[in-house]
Amino acid sequence: MNRILFIFVITSTSGIPDKSCDRIRIGNNWYERETLWSDLGRPYNLNIHRGSNTLFFSYTQPETYSDVDFQLAYYNLDSNDHQNIVGIRGGCAVAINQATDEIYLGGSEGIYKYNMLTKLADFYKEDGVNIWALFYKRNLFYISYPDQKLYIEIDDKFSPVKEFIGMEVDHFHVNKDNDIYFANKTGLYKYDNDNNNIHIVNNLITVRQIVEDIDDNVYICTNLGLFSIKVDELEKVSDMKNVHGLAFDRDNNIVISDEKNIIKLINSKSGCIDDKDHW
Ligand SMILES: *[C@@H]1O[C@H](CO)[C@@H](O)[C@H](O)[C@H]1NC(C)=O
């Protein structure tokens, strides 16, 4: 009896790799996955309201993958309460002012503000404008669809960002040092504020999302893996090519999406022996 127990202890701690090891590595850390919501269609635009630890995102119906059939939803990471957000046709865009707890949502007929108490979206501005994306940093920005133009809200009114007139923008981000990154179908760029010109950061990747963790590090979610921005270069932190969206919760835990699922990553002390892409 004692001997059997002894053997069991040895094998379970000897680090022999489990064939089905599905832990994943990002940077120097290993994670286990906890699927929060499955059977969605391409969940994109993951954004977490840190005050309530609530994830907002968009998805399409998995059967059709119709791009006109976007839907917004929320998932509260503390209570696991989750639901579709009703009343926004073609809902696909999210931006959050973390300081004032204002949550902006966009769809094919304008911009809305989410009311945490009623769980309803109240119409905000830009009636009839097809909103592709929203971004908040001191001001609210939106990108229109299908012309991919960037607008900024100043003194209660939206106007085109003049430095970006004539340029297609699919993703827009300003970091804490006021560095401006944007992406379109041809790549990822940095706008140089001082000299008024544009640097190519990478023109091989297709960007799916640009996000910040709670320590203001910028991450780029792409078809070729996850990258972080180090000065003006991209540093690959993961080979996972299926990541559609990425967000960091109140405690800087990572939440990702793949083609169909919203997944929370849980820190794991052990990794897999073969540290190739297990996605
Ligand atoms: C993307 O932006 C860059 C930099 O402004 C520009 O040179 C390029 O033509 C744009 N690509 C598309 C598809 O508009």
Task: Report how far residue 227's alpha carbon sits from residue 221's, in angstroms, rounded to the nearest whole number.
Answer: 7
| Cα 65 to middle of ligand 1, angstroms | 27
pLDDT at residue 51 is higher than 50 = yes
Write the CATH number for 151. Answer: 2.120.10.30
Q: Find the residues whose C-beta lies inside 6 A of ligand 1.
A: 167-168, 184-186, 189, 198
Task: Report how far residue 108's alpha carbon sits from residue 126's, in angstroms, rounded to the nearest whole number.
Answer: 10
Q: Which range is least confidently modeled, 4-8, 14-18, 58-62?
A: 4-8
Residue 146: cis peptide before it, omega within 30 degrees of 0: yes
pLDDT at residue 163 is higher than 80 = yes
Residue 6: enclosing H or E segment and its boundaries? helix 2-13
Q: Which of 247, 156, 136, 150 has its CA nearest to residue 191?
A: 150
Amino acid at 135: F
User: What number does the ligand 1 atom closest to the CA of 186 have?
Assistant: 11
Q: Is residue 20 part of a domain?
A: no
| Cα 202 to middle of ligand 1, angstroms | 12
pLDDT more than 70, % of the chain? 89
pLDDT at residue 14 is higher than 70 = no
**Best residue for ligand 1 mutational test, from 186, 198, 200 (most atoms within 8 Å of Cβ):** 186
**Best residue for ligand 1 mutational test, from 189, 201, 202, 207 (most atoms within 8 Å of Cβ):** 189
Per-residue pLDDT tens digits for 196-242: 899 999 999 999 999 999 999 999 999 999 999 998 799 999 999 99
Domain with 204, as residue range(s), is 36-223+243-256
User: What number does the ligand 1 atom closest to the CA of 185 have?
Assistant: 13
What value does the mean pLDDT of the chain take?
90
Q: Is residue 15 part of a domain?
A: no
Q: Provide the 3-class DSSP secondary structure of residue 131.
A: strand
Per-residue pLDDT tens digits for 60-74: 976 655 555 899 999
Per-residue pLDDT tens digits for 178-198: 999 999 999 999 999 888 899
Cα-Cα-Cα-Cα torsion 48, 62, 130, 52, nearest 10 degrees, comes to -20
Per-residue pLDDT tens digits for 240-260: 999 999 999 999 999 999 999
- In this prediction, residue 4 has a pLDDT band, given cuts at 50, 70 and 90, of very low
| Cα 195 to middle of ligand 1, angstroms | 18
Task: Report how far residue 103's alpha carbon sits from residue 97's, in angstroms, rounded to the nearest whole number.
Answer: 6
User: What number does the ligand 1 atom closest to the CA of 182 have?
Assistant: 2
| Cα 186 to middle of ligand 1, angstroms | 6
Nearest-CA residue for ligand 1 atom 5 is 167
Task: Report how far residue 57's alpha carbon sits from residue 44's, in angstroms, rounded to the nearest whole number.
Answer: 6
Token digits for 174? Answer: 């300003």
Neighbours of 120 (CB within 10 A): 14
CB 260 within 8 A of CB 270: no
Number of domains in the chain: 1
What pLDDT is stored for residue 279 in this prediction? 47
Q: Which of 248, 249, 137 has its CA nearest to residue 182?
A: 137
